[in-house]
Structure 1
Amino acid sequence: MATYLITGASRGIGLELTKQLLELPTSEVSKVFAVARNAETDAIKQLSQKYPDRLYPVSASVDNTASVQHAVEAVRAKLNGQSLDVLVNNAGISGETKGLIKDMELDQLTQILDVNVVGVQRVTAAFFPLLEQGTQKKIINVSSGLGSFAYAPHVVSMPSDAYNISKTALNMLTVRWAHQYAEAGFTIVSISPGWIKTDMGTAHADLSIEQGVAAVKKLILETGKEQNGKFLNIKVPKTDEMMFDYDGKEIPW
């Protein structure tokens, strides 16, 4: 009966993950806290009506400390003495870098780092006391293969410099947390969800939202302490139409 908290839960991967987790029996997933800048969207309202005793929408912005602290208090109240077992840091933004990296706008880099890296630190630190009381003690940071140094030569032409840099920084943040809290029983990993057909991923992506998130969910459920501090890929059978491989193995840093 694990309790989950998912950021960026109003759309895309976060919304679909919330939906798929709630489809599991209560014996596996008892509560899901859907955190989003706007947690009152029609999609979340529909899920709330379907799962009124298991889904708890929470409005918060990961780039705002006061907002996150208010979210902690709201979640603590709804837990009513229960612990928080799994945190999925999914909220993130992208952005096209115009021209070469010398032309990258500093405001864009600052904004993306604030959401994709500082936001994860802000959320993780704020909810950590609740996670310490949990039985699973899992923190899942949704990264990207674009943050891999090893893959960098293969995606040099992609206009996503700021986004790539942010995901590389997120991976180091993951490793620092993982190493410092391994002895406390935590499992803290970065995962690449693959190229999924979302607003961010575009309609040209490799995987449907249902297929990609099903693989993400499976990875989250199966990840244990032996994976602590690792960068993990989802597992989806390769087809000729796919640009990338999803082999379920560790991704090189």
Structure 2
Amino acid sequence: MASYLVTGSSRGLGLALVTRLVALPKAEVGTIIATARQDNSPGLKELVNASAGRIELVTMDVTNEASVKQATTLVEQKLHGKGLDYLINNAGVMDWSPTGLEGMDNLNEVFNVNVTASHLVTRAFLPLLRRAEKKAVINISTTLGSIAMAEVYQHMKSPAYKISKAAMNMLTVQYAQQYANDGFTFLAISPGWLRTELGSARADLPVDVGAEKVVDIVQKAGPEQNGKFFDILVPGWEKLSRARYDGEEIPW
């Protein structure tokens, strides 16, 4: 009965991840900590109220170190002395710059949310992760952050997003290397192009499909996946999009 914490749970993929997790048997998924900057998401509140106590809502601004520390204390209380098995760093933002690099005026802001915040959260929750059996940290990334695939996504005018996700990938590897001997698993997952506010209605897949496939990878994660970067597996979609859905490792 593993415990999970998902950041950015108020909408989009984060909300879909919490929805997917609570739908799984209690024998597989126990306590689910859903964090959000504000607790005013109707969809998330409805999930919490219907979860019979399995979902705990914790307010946390991932970019604010004091807020993260306060949330860590609350989560420790809600876990009743047990460790945290899975941390899913999902909170993120995306930019749009029609003129490309010349119009990129928000790199610091995007980097702070997509990279620095993931570090702040991961570092703060390391003590709770150490107490758990799984000790897994999953960073939600994207193939747009792959330097090897940069030419494929040259048309996408989101330079700050690409740069920050490439940095997040390196952050994942740095953590993976430092804590490998302590039994941790750090990995990055690209959920593909999903129909969320961030992904738009033109995206490839419904967000619930992306969430289901991400959870499939998360639940199988172990030391052998430490420091790797995967895409989700969606049968029939392997070669239908610039995004990757073959369940394989993504080149850095």
Pairing of 1:1-253 with structure 2 (within 5 A) = 1-105=1-105, 108-239=106-237, 242-253=241-252
Superposed displacement of residue 170, structure 1: 0.1
Q: What SS does the aligned partner of 2:182 have?
A: coil
CA distance in 2 between partners of 1:71 and 1:40 (Å): 17
Letter in 1 for 2:73: E
Give the share of equivalent positions with the same residue, in percent: 45
Count of matched residue pairs: 251
TM-score (normalizing by structure 2): 0.97
The answer on whether the counterparts of 2:100 and 2:158 sit within 8 Å (CA) in structure 1 is no
The answer on whether the counterparts of 2:13 and 2:211 sit within 8 Å (CA) in structure 1 is yes
Moved more, 160-169 or 74-83: 74-83
CA distance in 1 between partners of 2:144 and 2:3 (Å): 30
CA distance in 2 between partners of 1:14 and 1:69 (Å): 21
Superposition misfits of 4+ residues, deviation over 6 angstroms: none
Superposed displacement of residue 202, structure 1: 0.4
The answer on whether the counterparts of 1:40 and 1:57 sit within 8 Å (CA) in structure 2 is no
CA distance in 1 between partners of 2:116 and 2:71 (Å): 17
The answer on whether the counterparts of 1:238 and 1:245 sit within 8 Å (CA) in structure 2 is no
The answer on whether the counterparts of 2:11 and 2:41 sit within 8 Å (CA) in structure 1 is no
Structure 1 runs not aligned, ≥5 long: none
Q: What SS does the aligned partner of 2:181 have?
A: coil
Letter in 2 for 1:37: R
CA distance in 2 between partners of 1:150 and 1:190 (Å): 16
The answer on whether the counterparts of 1:191 and 1:232 sit within 8 Å (CA) in structure 2 is yes
Moved more, 233-242 or 56-65: 233-242
CA RMSD in angstroms, aligned pairs only: 1.2
The answer on whether the counterparts of 1:98 and 1:104 sit within 8 Å (CA) in structure 2 is no
CA distance in 2 between partners of 1:44 and 1:155 (Å): 33
Letter in 2 for 1:250: E
The answer on whether the counterparts of 1:144 and 1:192 sit within 8 Å (CA) in structure 2 is yes
CA distance in 2 between partners of 1:83 and 1:227 (Å): 21
